Structure 1
Amino acid sequence: MARDMPIGNGNVLINFDTGCNIRDIYYPYIGQENHALDHLSHFGVWTEDGFFWIDSPEAVKTAAYETDTLVTDVKCSSETLGISLYIHDAVDIESNAFIRKITVYNGWERDRQVKLYFHLDLHLYGTAVGDTVYYDPELCSLVFYKGHRYVSLSCGSRERPSESSPNGYATGQKEINGLQGTWKDAEDGQLGRNPIAQGSVDGTIELELTVPAQGSKQGWFWLIFARNIREVQQSEQELRSAGPEAYLERTRSFWRQWLQQDRHELELLPDDIASFYKRSLLIIRTNMDNRGAILAANDSDIMKFAKDTYSYMWPRDGALISHALDRAGYHDWTRPFFDFCKRSLSSEGFLLHKYNPDGSVGSSWHPWVDAKGKKQLPIQEDETALVLFALWHHHRLAGSLAESRDDYERFVIPAADFLVHYRDASGLPLPSYDLWEERYGVFSFTTSTVHAGLLAAANFAEANKDPSRGELYRDIAGRVKEALEQQLYSEREGRFLRALYWNEDKGAYDPDLSLDASMYALFDFGLFPADDPRIVSTMQALRQNLWVQTDVGGMARYANDYYHQVSSDIGKVPGNPWYICTLWYAEWLIAKAGRREDLSEALELLRWTVRHALPSGVLAEQIHPYTGEPLSVSPLTWSHSTYVKVVQEYLSKLKRFGEGPVAEQDLSENKLLGSR
């Protein structure tokens, strides 16, 4: 089930599914140690007239965020029981606490007793082995623990949050001996008050409210995340002293102020585009760990397909996400990412496939030997090159080049030297894996990023008064470009090629004529101008052949894309629509626009992105070509950062043509949804 409404503070991340249930709980790293592990934590409501869980069919829900915050705004109503819930959740910006404010509205003409049940199903350290949960009579909380991971679950009414104690509680076992968990105990309105359980455990607390006729009453629940019981006790005391309302308000205020750091003139944009831009910035932040890792995605639902997750720091994703944030002015927030990469760089000068949030090397399917047992590097060279590219722009945009010496010596020189030497006799980069992690060869995308990385290194050298290296890096970048023009462009096809694959028997490269959306990199990283006839023919071919010919539309990665494939009708559906691929095409339209009117189609593609997001504003990796439902992980950080960057490009071009919104032309369905 797709993740909707992530909330976090860089130490704690909580993901909700589209039923408004908690599904993922990460602490103390974002993306590492999922203490929920896709197991559902329930929230229920009891009255003497009936009971419902928040995800039950009878509960009608609307789920979104408060405007310009990472505070949720959820309404859930049961017409049968005359009960409506208004829920505001947040992860506190200053402490490792989750806060839930819940307002219960009673639509009937009599006072009613309403019991709220918060159930927590934890798998501390990502496993249910050896957990303990007990009721602490001094804290008046359920405390879960294992090793150095502690979580307390507490509640209180508006009238006495500092004297909070649950009206009932239950601890027990689940997932063994046919036991479902303590949440089943709540359905009759009576919790068993078992004081402790160990092994595979869960717990539930009860908060009872007297809600007046056609009136409302507020209640609170909160979770404290800590490494030991002393931290739990101190954090509980601080929260109860200040009150959960103060935590919620300071978090709400922080995110609204945080968005004001963006330096772009969003008032020039249509309201829907500007609002989604700000929502994307916030969602990106939820997947950024405070120690520097920028996670691709933290949707544990993907484990059902491969027994692995996207909760890794891919240097490529992180570089492109950082670049979008740096353009927005968030230099202090991206700096930890570059420090992370500096710590992770190998002695040979390259970055590996991916990393865990704590800096250790992530899982990989890239082998260290080829089919004949000969050593090869298990890398995607673009990941090293793009960090160089993004690091240069980070310092340029932050105005911190005078402080770049350590970065230059510890990252730029070894990484650029690696790019210089990892080339064949023609000047092309040696083979590595492509950005999709599927093929081993020499790719237009990778070569474009190597060229950009070397130019960035040359700029660094000149800024650090190292002219000989600057001259070398700039010269090698030129040779890379010449080799690409000679070998990765087809005169017969009249466009660029996706890749070259080394043929050992022939002692030469075989060309790959396939069209791939990633070929946008040829213009985006400055190798060629967007209006170069070779780029124009390449991008037009991508649009002609990779656009999904359904009511959903959007751009596929390449023809016959197998990943989460739902249709074998390749002529109509070359692959599932990907947000990033669709936005790359929009970016090219913006780059080559010569008049204000030329921006209209790009604006519609930005709107296409907004229309196909989840109601909360979350973008998945890809969507179903017939239904538009999210596929693969959700949210994908890269999807949101690409939207942010393309909006930035749109604004830049708009200002170049003169302030004021572009005229929104009446674009035909055929033009956007694409008959061939």
Structure 2
Amino acid sequence: MARDLPIGNGNVLINYDAAYNIRDMYFPLVGQENQSSDHLSHFGVWTQEGFFWIDHPEVKKSLNYLPDSLVTNVHCSHERLGLQMLFRDGVDVQQNVFLRKLRIENNFDMERKIKLYFHLDLQIYGNGIGDTIYFDPELNSLVFYKGHRYLTLSCFSPDEGKAKLSGYATGQKGIHGLQGTWKDAEDGMLGGNPIAQGSVDGIIEMEVTLPAKGTKEVWFWICFGKSKQEIERMERLLRTVTPQAMLQRTHDHWVKWVNQDSHELSLLKPEIQAFYKRSLLITKTNIDNRGAIIAANDSDILKFAKDSYSYMWPRDGALVSHALDRAGYYELSRKFFDFCKKAMTPEGYLMHKYNPDGSVGSSWHPWVNQKGNKQLAIQEDETALVIYTLWHHHKLAGTLSKSKDDYDQLVIPAADFLAHYRDASGLPLPSYDLWEERYGVMAFTVSSVYAGLIAASRFAEYHEDKVRAVYYADKAEQVKKAANEQLYSEEKQQFIRSLYWNYDKEAYEPDFTLDASMYALFDFGLIEKTDSRMINTMQAMKEKLWVHTEIGGLARYENDYYHQVSHDIAKVPGNPWFICTLWYAEWLIASAASNTELQEAENLMQWAIKHALPSGVMAEQVHPFTGEPMSVSPLTWSHASFIKVTQEYLSRLKDMKNIGRKQKNDASEDKVLEPVN
């Protein structure tokens, strides 16, 4: 089930499923240590007329955020039981506290007693072995702990004047046939067991009296800490400051943060402007405060391979940081580059992916080739793109004068690796592609290596390292020359995706498969956008990769097998991906010669908005026939792609207006200068 409505503060990240159940609770690192590990935490309501959990089919929902913020705005209604609920959830920007404000409305014309239930099913440290839960009478909270991880679950009703919960239960779950304490709530009576250990869960109750046609307000919260003293301090602070003040400051913080962007967003249509800002906010939820930009934190993907997307891929991180830099969020990118600087191997390359704490992540890239000889288990574009985006980071932030340490510690070793990791023709040696599926010489990788070497040359020139400036520029030109000679097919009149080494023939063989990632040839500056070969390639890409269903969108490549749902390749070459569709929009923007061509790009941006969840969350890909989100959700790269394409669109839109204004002025001048008969 797709994840939705991520909220967080860089230490804590909360994800929900489509029914508004909490599914993921990451702490103390975004993407590492999922304290709930996809286990469902329930929220329920008891009335004398009946009981329901929030995911019951009778509960109608509208899942969204408050505008320009990371505070949820979720409306739920149960018509038969006469209740309406408005949820406002957020993670405090200063303390590691999840806050839930609930306004519940009675539609019946009589006073009613109701009971609200908040249940937590935790897997502390990501597993359910040896957890403890107990009721703390001083805190009036349930306390969960194991090792150096502590969480509290508490509630409060200002309208009732109640600072205490009205009931609780702790118990075991998933063993001895026990389902969990949530079952104890369905009759409106909690058992009150004060402590449990092992595989455990817990639930609290808040009883309120609803006036006829009236409303009440109830608060729930979860504190996250590394010691009992820390959560006790947070509980005292929260009750002093008040949860309302915390949620308000959180809302205000995000509204101010997202409106720092210096782009002239007023030129955009309202829905594009709003979606651009939503993409910035959602991207922020997947960034850890220590610099790791995480690809996705949807634990539902664990069902496929017992692994997740909760890693920092240097390529994804570099492209996300580039979009953030262009928006002016330099401090986030700075932490990412510091992360990469620490992660860099002595040989000058970055590994496949990393855990949020900086350790090397899991990998499926072998260290030996088909002949049993050693090969590097890397994707070379990940190293190259970090150099490329680092250069733009310093240019945009105006910090080139402070870039000497980056140049010495990151750029030189990485650029030296790129310069040496090439064959006699000048092409980069084989590595894995950006899709992590094939080992060869990819157009995307070659383009990124060229861009990385050009960036390194510019760094060297700035720091008056003249020998390296010439050296890196020369190597970049060799890459470009080799790419023009070997990555273009005269027969097809277009560029090719890659070259694969044939071990029997001891030679490269071309791969003519059209791949959306070939947009990198122009985007990273290897091939001019006006080059007829590039134009032919992009036109062929659109023809071959467009999904010919009511959903539309662009697939990754011909006959994409990942989550494949149709073998009718002519109609569905693969599932439509947000990033691929937006890459093509980037091409249209870059090559647009008229407002009509620019409109085609805007249509693809609107496609992304239409196929996101109502909250604005974009998955990795969508189902080609239903449009339902597939794979992980949200994918940080999807949102970064929308951010970048919007920036490109704005720039081109302003250019078009200036051209139109100039043409109008020229025409006016010509008219004035016409001879009078």
TM-score interval, normalised by the smaller of the two chains: over 0.9
Correspondence list, 1:4-83, <5 A: 4-83=4-83
AA at the equivalent of 2:144: F
1:392-415 per-position Cα deviation (integer Å, ceiling 9, x unaligned)? 000000000000000000000000
Counterparts of 1:270 and 1:488, CA distance in 2: 40
1:627 and 2:630 aligned: no
Counterparts of 2:16 and 2:524, CA distance in 1: 36
- Show the counterpart of 2:437: 438
Correspondence list, 1:381-420, <5 A: 381-420=380-419
Kindly indicate whether the alpha-carbon contact (under 8 Å) linking 1:154 and 1:164 is maintained by their aligned counterparts in 2. no
Q: How far does residue 660 in structure 1 lie from its aligned partner after superposition?
A: 12
- Show the counterpart of 1:422: 421
Counterparts of 1:607 and 1:443, CA distance in 2: 30
What SS does the aligned partner of 1:86 have?
strand
Alignment TM-score, normalising by the size of structure 1: 0.97
1:132-171 per-position Cα deviation (integer Å, ceiling 9, x unaligned)? 000000000000000000000000002477x621100000
CA root-mean-square deviation: 1.2
1:641-662 per-position Cα deviation (integer Å, ceiling 9, x unaligned)? 0011000000000011127999
Counterparts of 1:154 and 1:243, CA distance in 2: 13
Counterparts of 1:263 and 1:475, CA distance in 2: 36
Correspondence list, 1:100-179, <5 A: 100-159=100-159, 164-179=163-178
Kindly indicate whether the alpha-carbon contact (under 8 Å) linking 2:160 and 2:208 is maintained by their aligned counterparts in 1. no
What SS does the aligned partner of 2:69 have?
coil
Correspondence list, 1:347-366, <5 A: 347-366=346-365
What SS does the aligned partner of 1:409 have?
helix
1:465 and 2:464 aligned: yes
- Show the counterpart of 2:600: 601
Kindly indicate whether the alpha-carbon contact (under 8 Å) linking 1:268 and 1:660 is maintained by their aligned counterparts in 2. no
Q: State, as a whole percentage, how many aligned pairs show the same letter.
A: 64
- Show the counterpart of 1:88: 88
Kindly indicate whether the alpha-carbon contact (under 8 Å) linking 1:457 and 1:473 is maintained by their aligned counterparts in 2. yes
Q: How far does residue 217 in structure 1 lie from its aligned partner after superposition?
A: 0.4
Counterparts of 1:34 and 1:534, CA distance in 2: 48
- Show the counterpart of 1:192: 191
- Show the counterpart of 2:615: 616
Kindly indicate whether the alpha-carbon contact (under 8 Å) linking 2:433 and 2:440 is maintained by their aligned counterparts in 1. yes
Kindly indicate whether the alpha-carbon contact (under 8 Å) linking 2:159 and 2:216 is maintained by their aligned counterparts in 1. no
Counterparts of 1:186 and 1:32, CA distance in 2: 31
1:323 and 2:322 aligned: yes
What SS does the aligned partner of 2:63 have?
strand
Kindly indicate whether the alpha-carbon contact (under 8 Å) linking 2:618 and 2:635 is maintained by their aligned counterparts in 1. yes
Counterparts of 2:382 and 2:277, CA distance in 1: 27
Counterparts of 1:48 and 1:72, CA distance in 2: 29
AA at the equivalent of 1:327: R
Kindly indicate whether the alpha-carbon contact (under 8 Å) linking 1:9 and 1:92 is maintained by their aligned counterparts in 2. yes
Kindly indicate whether the alpha-carbon contact (under 8 Å) linking 1:27 and 1:34 is maintained by their aligned counterparts in 2. yes
Counterparts of 1:452 and 1:546, CA distance in 2: 26
Q: How far does residue 531 in structure 1 lie from its aligned partner after superposition?
A: 2.1
Q: How far does residue 508 in structure 1 lie from its aligned partner after superposition?
A: 1.5
Counterparts of 1:213 and 1:535, CA distance in 2: 69
Counterparts of 1:470 and 1:296, CA distance in 2: 33
Q: How far does residue 210 in structure 1 lie from its aligned partner after superposition?
A: 1.0
Deviating runs (4+, > 4 A) in structure 1? Answer: 659-662
Kindly indicate whether the alpha-carbon contact (under 8 Å) linking 2:5 and 2:15 is maintained by their aligned counterparts in 1. yes
Q: How far does residue 529 in structure 1 lie from its aligned partner after superposition?
A: 2.0
- Show the counterpart of 1:672: none
Counterparts of 2:158 and 2:55, CA distance in 1: 25
Gaps of 5+ in 2: 662-677
Counterparts of 1:209 and 1:406, CA distance in 2: 60
1:230-258 per-position Cα deviation (integer Å, ceiling 9, x unaligned)? 00100000000000000000000000000
Correspondence list, 1:162-561, <5 A: 164-561=163-560
Q: How far does residue 427 in structure 1 lie from its aligned partner after superposition?
A: 0.0
What SS does the aligned partner of 1:100 have?
strand
Kindly indicate whether the alpha-carbon contact (under 8 Å) linking 2:20 and 2:55 is maintained by their aligned counterparts in 1. yes
What SS does the aligned partner of 2:338 have?
helix
Counterparts of 2:223 and 2:555, CA distance in 1: 43
Alignment TM-score, normalising by the size of structure 2: 0.97
What SS does the aligned partner of 1:72 have?
coil
Q: How far does residue 467 in structure 1 lie from its aligned partner after superposition?
A: 1.2
Counterparts of 1:559 and 1:596, CA distance in 2: 30
Counterparts of 1:44 and 1:251, CA distance in 2: 26
- Show the counterpart of 1:666: none
